[in-house]
Amino acid sequence: MVRSPTVFPAEDFDSEADAKALREAFKGFGTDEQTVIDIIARRSNEQRRKIASTFKTMYGKDLIKELKSELRGNFEDVILALMTDPIEFQAKELHHAISGLGTDESTIVEILGVHNNEDIIKIGNAYEGLYQTDLETDIKGDSSGHLKRLLVSLANGHRDESDIVDEEAARNDAQALLQAGELLFAGTDESVFNMVLCQRNRPQLNQIFKEYENITGNTMEQAIENEFSGTLRDSLIQLIHCIRDPVDFLATRLHDAMSGIGTDDRTLIRIVTGRSEIDLEEIKNVYQAKYGKTLAERMDQDTSGDYKRALLAIVG
């Protein structure tokens, strides 16, 4: 994968100077939020954690606790997200998606869909370290039926990660999906969809989708619409979008987070901070091409204050 970040390691990085500047920003009445943004939003995650370590050595204080006591609301959430180890952050987001009121399946599919096997296993390990229970157990306790099986399959990180495309195998899988869905006389054999979507590599799956369309004249999404309902249908369509084009998928997630009444700040913060050192530049380009407006312009309309300034500093 070609990386296209918006946040880069600062050149001439000096953790002592940064720690001192942050300490000054917390002094006196109120906080100098702009200094916090200038430092935290313009350093790599590794550099931020070095600043936290230096801060503790210099002042005997925990920088995270200081930030929590000085900052508020969505602005605090952005800064704390930036200060958290990326894998640990995703584990915390999964926990929130599972343990909140109702299950946020969209977030679970997003996180498990965009990360590779290695990262999914690391996220699962971080989850267990944080909550003394494993991710699979919590997913099983919070979902049921075929949706539960889909999410558990994704959480196990068993997807083939080669780039090999086997056209004959793709035709066979497309035929198997057809037999399990549209050609099945009574109902749908969901386990076949689960096996194919959660185990094949991305290029192979895109070939399977192509073969399916060649055979039936229907897109894979249309097949899902016809065969499934409710949250399972929505989760499968979301997963297929993520498989087809993860960057387009995340651009769409950002757009949806800011459309309608109110803003889904949690999704906005998770994607902007989580992808800032990976592919946020590419997500921005796709967003602009798709929606005729830059991501920064949309955020400018949809957010305010220090929260907006922090997001715009990350987006660039």
Cα separation, 174 vs 169, whole angstroms: 9
Looking at residues 208-219, what average pLDDT do you find?
Answer: 95
Instruction: Name 152's Cβ contacts closer than 8 Å, sequence gap at least 6.
Output: 136, 139, 140
Looking at residues 213-225, what average pLDDT do you find?
Answer: 94
Give the pLDDT confidence of 4-46 residue by residue, as tens digits.
Answer: 999 999 999 999 999 999 999 998 777 899 999 999 999 999 9
CB distance 119 to 154 below 8 Å: no
Average confidence score pLDDT of the chain: 94
pLDDT at 227 over 90: no
Give the pLDDT confidence of 52-108 residue by residue, as tens digits.
Answer: 999 999 999 999 999 999 999 999 999 999 999 999 999 999 999 999 778 899 999
Domains parsed from the chain with CATH numbers: 86-155 (1.10.220.10), 167-244 (1.10.220.10), 246-315 (1.10.220.10)
Q: Residue 106, SS3?
A: helix
Q: Which helix (H) or strand (E) holds 95?
A: helix 86-99
Residue 190 pLDDT level (bands cut at 50, 70, 90):
confident
pTM: 0.95
Give the pLDDT confidence of 253-310 residue by residue, as tens digits.
Answer: 999 999 988 899 999 999 999 999 999 999 999 999 999 999 999 999 999 999 999 9
Query: Burial, 90: exposed, middle or buried (Cβ in 10 Å; 0-12, 13-18, 19+)?
Result: buried
